[in-house]
Chain A
């Protein structure tokens, strides 16, 4: 039943994509058709996922036609169903938001293709999680990349957007090479591209599993945005229209996590160093991601770096899970995987919400520079409130959902540190201070964003004349914020949805006893917290009813002529946080201090470039190009030489064949 619903969802998405293109120049109609299809497809996909997760078990179906090298085999198991749920929820909400967001572009750009590629992207992601055959999987994977490329380059008349799109496409294709090699190796081992065959063949031995793990790490890590192969992400996500940023950051990069988890199921029991590697990647991605986010001045670019941070948190959870698995500690493994998976859903929800909020700000002010905004809380109350919910949630604070997943990872790491022993124990212990530091820095960053954008007073005319977003853009944000709160208040229900997938990833038959017994206590904490705040609000209202309440200018410490430009900016707010990390971030500073009794000029500039791109990847690529350049002597441009190559190749093949036939 669930599989029928899911494939029906893909059908609806593809059909509506075609319809959106077919209506031609009637842009609004095309947008409506596309949105209706996206919502219907998401509802079908979500229903399929929930049905499968509640019923348990796995379903499999094989279409009667064949692909070259592979078969069209699809299936749903808990792991697929959980990711399908994430796609459906975030994809559906962002589609509704997009209907409102794209409306403003009507007449300027073609909306039909934008709607069509959106639906194609959602369909391709559903295809990725349904595929039960390597060839079908890679096919859906590539459709996903291409569809998202066209969505990123929606505003293709801007040079920066074209550049970002191209970077994204190249990075994706470099990553997918690793995946081609990965599946070729797995096929060589199992004799089949079918996932069932890969599972039946058992764990590959002789170092093949290690090679496959590393290939998966590079290939899927590029999509997920692990440091240092995240470099495409901070360019591509801000370039895309905001509802596409929400979808890409919210769920598309998680397809990398899905691919990694799926591959791990083929590779058997993990050795210790896999978990330790993921913990290392998680620490670096998390800390570097949040530090770069703090250094950004562009609202959407900042959010994109937070995706690197949150992928790091997910990697920490996966690392704890793998460490537990490698030592046979079921509880640690389950907690790590459950935390990582729930964080996949949580990050989808709050990052979708935050990108939508950033889109509303962009829509209302035309401004993405944080330091030219301010005071939007008055003119955009709904956007401000929902953005605040997202900000608290992504900072991992109760009573919202980010706290629940980070709590699971923390508890898993504490248990791992206590019970794993040896190197695995040390790796698990390393998770604790890293996650604490990431959390503290995330709080700093989101106070900065929220405070500078929505609080205080407007720093520019554009910010002063902002207006609230339309209903189609408001309601998805309200729904996203409500879901963030619901998971934070009722974690037992939602961890219950992630639990079957975590069990599958950890290769466990049943939930370790007593692990999730503390979740109702989190509900109690959340409810008491909300009740205490409400009681205090009532108390204050009662106290102030009899007393005088005045509104007056803010205390200026004796200085009467303060202007909005004198408010603390995002750059000044982040400076003390970033100062101790200056050497790590390679901050470049231009400083012209005021001099003399009547100083005329003063200037201060700070730039934080992305170290991974400039210092790691560019030199690496240059080295590859140099090596390739040396091969160029082979290509001399003389036909006789090329004929000699052909002859030599034929001779080698002949000798090889003869040697093979001869006994």
Chain B
């Protein structure tokens, strides 16, 4: 991506848009349940209020606890600079950037879990343990889904992969791309602690994953975490958006509109999924995630059989 204007547009979307997503999801869930629900912009208000508050730190904690939210947010932000949003490439794009994108999400997860363990709370340790397990089982699915879109492009690069997507009707590869989209949808739900993997609205610590890891954070730290979670939702959703919506490579206003429409659609779908599904029993989550990876492997196998590589 070159030029000041596209980069500025990318950064503006990346900074301003994320808190809207939980709002859209919440409104969708309220609509399905027949409630009015919190305002669309509630997450912005929450973050603003938390930023103005003081902080309470647990007695056993060290600097790792304070570094957790910072590193997680910074890593997600840099991942957001790599991934294309309203154009065919991001400001930090380079050959092989797909791998860096996944590794940055891993870095954020590492520090979130470390901060949880720093509190000496068994509940937070439990959350970190579950996050570690599900995080590990998500990786193969994520990489296999990305393999499906990267192999025809000949490069593990978002700009090349998105440019090579088959937007002609009845292209022989579109069913495989559909598989990639489904698997990325599962990855999106798992990475962002949504139903059926985790329930962001649960009130019982024993059943939480993400929420219980951040129990002890408060004030600006919690603001960073809330904002970071929304940012991660946007960043991973951006992958899915580009698979299902033809965001023009050159970007521009058309790109912004397509991207906003696609993101809103993804958020609504998440809301509907959350309204119509119960979360899985924890023991069944690995099977769900490994099943998604297996589905992606089938997609890769079809590509190979078609002689795509």
Contacts and interface: CB of A to CB of B under 8 A. Distances in A.
Give the interface SS of chain A, mostly helix, strand, loop or mixed.
Answer: helix
Contacts of A549: 54-57
Interface in A560-578: 562, 564, 566-568, 572-577
Contact of B114 (A437, A455, A518, A562): A455
A392 B99 contact: no
A522 to B, nearest CB: 7
Contacts of A557: 121, 123, 205, 215
A514 B139 CA distance: 28
Contacts of A562: 120-122
Given A456-B60, A457-B60, A429 B117 contact: no
Interface in B204-231: 205, 215-216, 219-221, 224
Contacts of A532: 73-74, 77-78
Nearest to B153: A418
A550 interface: yes
B142 interface: yes
Contacts of B52: 543, 547
B54 A547 contact: yes
Contact of A573 (B82, B123, B129): B129
A430 to B, nearest CB: 10
A547 B53 contact: yes
Nearest to A553: B59
Interface residues of A, number: 88
Give the interface SS of chain B, mostly helix, strand, loop or mixed.
Answer: helix
Interface string A472-509: 00000000000000000000000000000000000000
Contact of B118 (A396, A440, A456, A573): A456
A548 B54 contact: yes
A397 B106 contact: yes
A576 B110 contact: no
B110 to A, nearest CB: 5
Contacts of B297: 433
B179 to A, nearest CB: 14
Contacts of B96: 407, 410-411, 414, 518
Interface in A408-432: 410-411, 414-415, 417-421, 425-426, 429, 432
A329 to B, nearest CB: 12
Interface string B129-142: 11011011111101
Interface in B243-296: 282-283, 286-287, 290, 293
B159 to A, nearest CB: 12
Interface string B88-122: 00001011111110111011011001101111111
Contacts of A574: 129
Contacts of B293: 433
Nearest to A541: B220
A433 B54 contact: no
Nearest to A448: B132
Contact of B57 (A403, A533, A552): A552
B56 A543 contact: no
Interface in A519-567: 521-522, 524-525, 528-529, 532-533, 536-537, 539-540, 543-544, 547-557, 562, 564, 566-567
